[in-house]
Structure 1
Amino acid sequence: MADRPEPPAWAVEQPVLTALALVAVFLGLLIILPYLQYVLFGVVLAYILLPLQQRLERYVRPMIAASITIVVAVIAILLPIVYILSVALRQTSQLVTAVRNGDVDLEMIESMVAETGYNVDLTALYESYQGTITGGVQGLATGALDVVGGLPGIAIGLTITLFVCFALLRDGDRLVDWLYRVVPIDDDVQRELFEELDRLMQASVISNVLVAAIQAVMLGAGLAILGIPAVVLLTVLTFLLTLLPLVGAFGVWLPVSIYLLATGRTVAAAALAVYGLLVTLSDTYLRPALIGRTGAINSAIIVVGIFGGLLTFGAVGLFIGPVVLGGSKVVLDIFARERTGGSAAETGSEPPTEDAAAGSGATADGDG
C-alpha cells in the first residue's frame, strides 16, 4: 500500500475537501442515528453468521451464500418467536376464559397455599388492591397497543437489519479494505485495532451466546425430565437471562423449585435445585473455555458494558456495550503508546508472547 501523507498536513493543504468530508460524515450520522440500534443489530448478526457464510462460500458465490445464510437466520429466529407467542396467547386466552366462566376456584388455591404454612385470603387481597391490579392490567393493555402501533417502525428497522447483515456478509472484506484506505491512521495501527476489536466481539458475542445456549439446553432438559409445563418458554427465558450478568439460569430454576415445593413435589424441587446450581456453576468453566484464559474483556467492563449498553443502544447493547467499553480502552492504550513511543506490550493492548511468559517465569525461578 502506498505511503499516505501525514493527515494534519494534508488536511491543511486541502481545506475544502476536508470540510466536505466532515460534512458528509456528519450528514451520514444524522441519517443512521434514528436506526442505530438496528444497524448495530445487523453488525452483530453478521458477525454471528460469518462462520456459516464462509463455509457456504466454498461451494457457491458470496451473494448466494449470503442469501442462504439470511434465510436460515430468519427461519431460525422467527419460528421460535412465533411458536412462543402462539403458546403464550393460547394460555392467556384459556386463563381469561376460565376466569369468565368461574372455573378458577380461589378457595382451592387458598387451601393449597395454606398447606405450605401460609394463610392467604385472595379475595381480600383483590379487594384491597383492586385499583392497583386494574391499573396494571390497563397499563399492560396500553403497552400492547403501543407495541402493535409501533409494528411498522419495527418492520422497517428489521428490514434495515437484514440488509446491513446481508451487505456485511457479502462485501465484508471489501468494507475492511475501504476502511484501510479511508481512515487516516497508519496501516499497522488499523490492523491492530481490527484484531483487538475482533477479539472483543468474539468474547462478547460468540462466547456469551454459546454459553447461554448451552446452559439453556441443559436446564431445559432437566425441566423436561421433571415434567415441568411450558418447557420451551422456560428454556428461551433461561437463554435470555443467562446473557445478563448477575442473573443467569438462577432466575428460572429457583422460582420453579419454589413452585414444585409449594405444590408438594419435594423430591423434584430438591433435584431441580441441585441440578440448577450445577448449571449455574458451569458458567465458571464454560466462559474461560470459550473466551480463553487470558480474558479479552475484564469482568467489570462486561458488567458495566452490558447494563450501560442496554440503556444506550437497547437490546443490542447487550453485545455492543462491552465491545464499546473494551474498544475504548484499546484505543486509549494505542494512543498512549503512539504518543510516548512505547511498545504494545507496555500499554497492554497486546497479549504477552510465549517467549515473554517463559522469560518472566525463568526470572521468577531465578529470584526464588
Structure 2
Amino acid sequence: MGIDIKKHLTPPVLLVLFLVIVSLMIVFPVLNMIILGAILAYGVRPVARKIQSKLKYSSLSILIAMIVILVPLILLVAYIVMELIAILSGASSSATYADINGVLSSVSSYLPWSFDVNSISSSLNSSVQEIGKFLLNYLVKFVSSLMNITLDLFILICSVFYFARDGDNCFEFIRSFVPDDSKDFFDKTVESVKDVLKSIFYGHFLTSVIIGIFGAIGYSLLGYPFGIFLGVLTGILQLIPVFGPWPIYWALFFMDILSGNYPRAAVVLLFGFFLSTIDMYIRPALSSHYADIHPLILLVGFLSGPLVYGIVGFIVGPLILGVTYVVLDSYRKEYILGDE
C-alpha cells in the first residue's frame, strides 16, 4: 500500500520543515556546545536537587551545582594548557647537544655497529626545537582565539543552566509530537539513553579519574617532574579503550633506562602494570549495572569525535554512537523481534 506524500506535505508541514532546517543551519556552529550542555545538565540536576532541598530556590541551586561541577573542569583545561607551555618551553631550552650526546652515547654502547653521534644529535636537537616551536605557536594561536572560546563557554554555561532548569519541559515538548502508539518505544529509548550516560560516566570517566589520581600520586612519589600532569595525561589516555595508561609508564621506563636509573625503571613498570590491572576491576564494577556497550563503539567515538566536534568530541562522540546503538537495539526488540 503506497503512501500519499502530497497528503502529508501540507503547507504547515512544509513551513515547519523549512524553519527547522534554517534553525539547524544557524545552530550548527555551536551545536557541539548545546549537546555538551545537555549532557552536563544531566549530571548537574541531581546535585542541584540536593542543594534545592535546603535552599528552596531552583535557579540558585542550579548555579551553585554548575559551579561545583563546571569550575573544576575549566580549571583542569587551564592547568593542562599551562603545564604544556611550561614543558615545551623547558624542553626547547634544555635540549642541548650535551644532553642528546649523552643519551646517544649510552645507546651506541649497546649496539654492534658505530654511528656518528654528533651528526645524529645535531639533527635530533634541531628537530626537537622545531617541534617545540610549532607546538608553542599552536598554543599561542589557541590563546589568541579566546573570543571564540569565550562564546562557546557562554553558550555551554547557558545550555547547562536552562537544560537543568527546564529539561522536563523540553522532554514533554518533544514527547508531545510522538504518536500515541510509539510513546512506549520513545519512553524506553529515553531510559536507554540515560543508561548510556550512566555507563559512560561511571564506567569510563569515573574510572579515568580514579586511575589518574593513582597515577599522579605514584609518579610524584617516584620523583618524576610534572608528576601531577603525568597523572592527568594518564587519566585522559584511560578514556581511550585501546590505550590506557601504558604509553605514559612505558615512556618513563625507557627514559629511566637511558639515564641509567634502573631501580626506578623497574618500579615504574610495576606501577604501570598495577594501573592497567586495577582498570580491569574498576571499570566492570562501575558500569556493569548500566548499558553494555561494545568497546569498539566507544573506541570509534573517542577517536573520531574530536575530528568532528573538536575537544568536546571526546564526550560527544562516544555518547552519540552509544545512543545510536541503544536506539537501534530498542527498535529491533520492539518492532522487529516483537513482530516475530
TM range (shorter): 0.7 to 0.9
2:142 alignment counterpart: 147
Q: Which moved more, 1:210-219 or 1:48-57?
A: 48-57
Correspondence for 2:244 among 244, 248, 252: 248
Specify the alignment match of 2:165 in structure 1.
170
Partners of 2:37 and 2:156 within 8 A in 1: yes
**What is the distance in 2 between the residues matched to 1:87 and 1:281?**
28
- The one of 279, 286, 304 aligned to 2:282: 286
- Give, in angstroms, the shift of residue 198 of structure 1: 0.6
Change (3 A) 1:165 1:265: same
Cα displacement string for residues 301-348 of structure 1 (whole angstroms, at most 9, x for unaligned residues): 2222322323333332323333323332333344445545717xx8xx
CA shift, 1:12, in A, is 4.2
- The 5 Å alignment of 1:234-273 reads 234-273=230-269
Return 5+ residue gaps in structure 1 as ranges: 1-7, 347-368
Structure 1, 265-274 or 317-326: larger mean CA deviation: 317-326
- Asked whether the equivalents of residues 38 and 160 of structure 2 are also in contact (C-alpha less than 8 Å), the reply is yes
2:105 match: 114
Q: How does 1:122-271 map to 2 (within 5 A)?
A: 123-125=118-120, 127-128=122-123, 136=131, 139-184=134-179, 186-271=182-267
Q: CA deviation at 1:266?
A: 1.4
C-alpha contact (below 8 Å) 1:242/1:249 kept by paired residues: yes
Counterpart in 2 of 1:49? 44
Q: 1:339 to 1:112 in 2, by over 3 A?
A: closer
How many Å separate the matches in 2 of 1:21 and 1:160?
A: 25
Distance in structure 2 (CA, Å) of the matches to 1:306 and 1:89: 25
Indicate whether 1:37 and 2:32 are aligned.
Answer: yes
Cα 1:124–1:246 change in 2 (3 A) is same
Asked if the contact 1:40–1:316 (Cα under 8 Å) also holds between the matched residues in 2, the reply is no
Deviation string for 1:250-292 (max 9, x for gaps)?
Answer: 1211111222222222122111111211111212111111111
What root-mean-square deviation, in Å, do the aligned CA atoms of Structure 1 and Structure 2 show? 3.1
For 1:75 and 1:281, locate their aligned partners in 2 and report how far apart those are by CA, in whole Å: 31
Provide the aligned length of Structure 1 versus Structure 2.
332
- 118-127 or 298-307: bigger deviation: 118-127
Match of 1:362 in 2: none
> What is the deviation of 1:16?
2.4
Moved more, 114-123 or 184-193: 114-123
Among candidates 278, 287, 310, match of residue 306 of structure 2: 310
| Contact 2:249/2:268 (8 A) holds in 1 | yes
Change (3 A) 1:263 1:130: closer
Q: Is the 8 A contact 2:85 2:139 kept in 1?
A: no
The verdict on how the C-alpha distance between 1:202 and 1:122 changes in structure 2, with shifts beyond 3 A counting, is farther
Q: Give the alignment's TM-score, normalised by structure 2.
A: 0.84
Q: Which moved more, 1:48-57 or 1:161-170?
A: 48-57
In the aligned structure 2, how far is the partner of 1:120 from the partner of 1:28?
64
Structure with the greater alpha carbon radius of gyration: 1
User: Which residue of structure 1 aligns with residue 18 of structure 2?
Assistant: 23
Aligned: 1:72 with 2:63: no
Residue identity in the other structure for 2:33: Y
How far does residue 197 in structure 1 lie from its aligned partner after superposition?
Answer: 0.6
The amino acid of 1:151's aligned partner reads L
Please, what TM-score do these two structures have when normalized by structure 1?
Answer: 0.78
**Take 1:113 and 1:126, find their aligned partners in 2: how far apart are those partners?**
7
Distance 1:128 1:93 in 2: 19
